[in-house]
């Protein structure tokens, strides 16, 4: 909801585009850092407590944003919102994995994916309407009211699954992991604004790498590490993380660059460009619950493989036939992307959960969701930089089958196919057994 009103916020406060960009960046940074921390908190304390703390922080951030007299206060509120909101992606799938046994998780995970798809489709519409009618401050009043209503619901529904034995919370290890993710995302964000050769971007990547090295050192030295090093030796789990990262990278990039394609090349208005995405959004919302249910019955690998192949063929069709042609072809391509993502996503979450022991579910799915989120943040920045470079080069298309006049966009979608190929290779590491057969 907030993304669409950022230009209005900038005008209201009389600030530059770079300054108002911190309304998004501040949220994303604490969001990325918080996701793995909440996953571990669910293992150490309980899902109910961790989720409630997250909702309280999100409500506090919403209150600060709604009453913000300046951009600085608004950014502070967004940072607090991000710190609380990270609980939602981190713990929604963790809650399912902790409450339901293997073999009964797929449908619930599919409903979560479906709700995310619906929210992503409705959010910009609601944000634009509320911002135009009553002002952007009311967006945060709305999130405050919704969050306050969710807190008692979470306390009522979620179990208090506190461990019988007290466990240590390796805060330094968690902070190092969060910094590795947050600085990596910040480097991507700086690269979009200032170029990937800028000091801010490269410095962030170096800091991210150092934090990752420090995290690896910490989990091998701490008496009670944030996560056991053996987690990263779990082939099935690591395969699910790789699939999720590159699948999300391709999906979000397609959602960003198909509207850009039909706007720049076909001259569609923003509203018309949004309609091009509608078939894919409907497919995601409709198929995701079914795919989750099917993954409990027939296993995860067939559905994930079918979904990734569908996404790959759809992206290649846009690269070969859609870039520069009628928007209908691009819309059909997005129908395929949405269908494929729906088939692959919830079964892949199911695969990750099934590969983890009960003691690792919170931390493992926290890291999984963090990687998933990073994939969505990385894709548009990298593909955007590649697209800009290909436009500047004014060279012919890399795709030998392409014959139209939007070569740069054709190349961008061809690169997305490479990400999906990596995901397909990673599926070889997933377990063959179904979730129902996994104990």
Q: Measure the CA–CA gap between 365 and 372, rounded to whole angstroms.
A: 10
Find where tokens 């959960």 sit: 353
Alpha helices in 318-400 (DSSP H): 327-354, 361-393
Tell me whether residue 435 is exposed, middle or buried, using C-beta atoms within 10 angstroms of its C-beta: 0 to 12, 13 to 18, 19 or more: buried
Q: Is the four-CA dihedral 215, 220, 222, 225 of positive or negative sign?
A: positive
- Name the region of 267 (left: φ>0; alpha: ψ -120 to 50; beta: rest): left
Q: Measure the CA–CA gap between 384 and 374, rounded to whole angstroms.
A: 16
- Note the maximum CA span of the chain: 65
Q: Mapping DSSP to helix (H, G, I), strand (E, B) and coil, where does residue 357 land?
A: coil
306: CB partners within 8 A, 6+ apart: 340, 343, 344
Nearest to 388, CA basis, from 249, 274, 267, 264:
264
295: CB partners within 8 A, 6+ apart: 106, 303, 346, 347, 350, 351, 434, 435
Q: How many residues does the chain have?
A: 439
The pLDDT, as a whole number, for residue 214 is 95
- Helix 327-354, helix 106-133: angle, nearest 10: 130
Return per-residue pLDDT of the chain as tens, 439 residues. 887 788 888 888 998 877 887 888 788 888 888 888 888 888 888 889 999 999 999 999 999 999 999 999 999 999 999 999 999 888 888 888 888 887 778 888 888 888 877 787 777 778 878 888 888 999 999 999 999 999 999 898 887 777 666 566 788 888 898 889 888 888 887 777 777 778 888 899 999 999 999 999 999 888 888 888 888 899 999 999 999 999 999 998 998 889 889 888 888 876 677 788 888 888 988 898 889 888 888 888 999 999 999 999 999 999 999 898 999 999 999 999 999 999 999 899 989 988 988 878 888 888 998 888 888 888 888 888 888 888 888 888 899 999 998 999 999 999 999 999 999 999 999 876 544 444 3
Q: Measure the CA–CA gap between 48 and 426, rounded to whole angstroms.
A: 33
Nearest to 23, CA basis, from 88, 76, 85, 89:
76
Phi/psi for 226 (5° steps) reads -55, -40
- Helix 327-354, helix 87-99: angle, nearest 10: 50
Nearest to 109, CA basis, from 94, 124, 123:
94
Q: Measure the CA–CA gap between 248 and 334, rounded to whole angstroms.
A: 14
Alpha helices in 14-105 (DSSP H): 17-20, 22-44, 47-66, 71-85, 87-99
The pLDDT, as a whole number, for residue 164 is 62
The H-or-E segment that residue 31 falls in is helix 22-44
Nearest to 57, CA basis, from 79, 36, 72:
79
- Name the region of 397 (left: φ>0; alpha: ψ -120 to 50; beta: rest): beta
The Cα-based distances of 148 to 49, 62, 63 in angstroms read: 15, 10, 11
Nearest to 98, CA basis, from 435, 368, 358:
358
Domains of the chain: 1-158 (1.20.1250.20), 227-439 (1.20.1250.20)
The pLDDT, as a whole number, for residue 436 is 43
Q: Measure the CA–CA gap between 421 and 314, rounded to whole angstroms.
A: 13
pTM metric for this prediction? 0.83
The pLDDT, as a whole number, for residue 433 is 56
The pLDDT, as a whole number, for residue 310 is 97
Q: Measure the CA–CA gap between 379 and 345, rounded to whole angstroms.
A: 17
Q: Measure the CA–CA gap between 311 and 251, rounded to whole angstroms.
A: 8
The pLDDT, as a whole number, for residue 133 is 87
Q: Measure the CA–CA gap between 288 and 302, rounded to whole angstroms.
A: 15
The pLDDT, as a whole number, for residue 437 is 44
Find where tokens 């995860």 sit: 300
Q: Mapping DSSP to helix (H, G, I), strand (E, B) and coil, where does residue 101 land?
A: coil
């Amino acid at each position: 909801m907030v993304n669409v009103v950022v230009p209005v916020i900038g005008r209201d406060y009389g600030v530059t585009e770079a300054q108002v960009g911190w309304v998004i960046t501040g949220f994303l940074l604490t969001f990325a850092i918080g996701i793995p921390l909440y996953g571990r908190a669910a293992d150490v304390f309980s899902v109910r407590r961790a989720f409630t703390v997250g909702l309280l922080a999100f409500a506090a951030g919403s209150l600060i944003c709604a009453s913000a007299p300046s951009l600085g206060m608004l950014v502070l509120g967004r940072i607090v919102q991000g710190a609380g909101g990270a609980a939602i992606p981190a713990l929604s799938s963790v809650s399912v994995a902790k409450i339901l046994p293997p073999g009964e998780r797929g449908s619930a995970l599919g409903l979560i994916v479906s709700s995310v798809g619906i929210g992503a489709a409705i959010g910009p519409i609601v944000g634009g309407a509320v911002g135009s009618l009553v002002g952007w401050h009311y967006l945060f009043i709305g999130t405050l009211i919704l969050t306050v209503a969710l807190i008692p619901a979470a306390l009522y529904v979620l179990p208090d699954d506190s461990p019988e034995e007290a466990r240590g919370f390796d805060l330094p290890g968690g902070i190092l992991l969060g910094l590795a993710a947050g600085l990596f995302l910040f480097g991507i964000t700086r690269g979009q604004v200032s170029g990937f050769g800028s000091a801010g971007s490269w410095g962030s990547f170096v800091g991210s790498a150092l934090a990752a090295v420090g995290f690896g050192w910490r989990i091998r030295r701490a008496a009670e590490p944030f996560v056991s090093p053996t987690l990263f030796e779990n082939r099935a789990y690591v395969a699910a993380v790789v699939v999720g990262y590159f699948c999300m990278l391709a999906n979000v990039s397609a959602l960003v660059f198909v509207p850009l394609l039909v706007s720049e090349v076909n001259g569609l208005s923003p509203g018309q460009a949004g309609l091009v995405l509608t078939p894919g959004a409907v497919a995601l919302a409709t198929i995701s619950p079914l795919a989750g249910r099917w993954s409990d019955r027939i296993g995860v690998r067939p559905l994930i493989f079918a979904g990734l192949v569908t996404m790959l063929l759809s992206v290649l069709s846009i690269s070969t036939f859609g870039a520069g042609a009628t928007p209908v072809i691009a819309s059909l391509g997005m129908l395929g992307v949405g269908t494929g993502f729906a088939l692959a996503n919830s079964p892949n979450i199911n695969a990750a959960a099934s590969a983890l022991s009960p003691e690792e579910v919170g931390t493992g799915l926290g890291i999984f969701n963090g990687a998933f989120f990073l994939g969505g943040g990385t894709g548009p920045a990298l593909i955007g930089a590649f697209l800009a470079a290909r436009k500047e080069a004014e060279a012919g298309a890399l795709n030998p089958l392409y014959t139209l006049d939007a070569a740069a966009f054709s190349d961008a979608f061809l690169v997305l196919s490479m990400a999906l190929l990596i995901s397909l290779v990673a599926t070889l590491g997933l377990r063959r057994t179904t979730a129902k057969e996994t104990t």
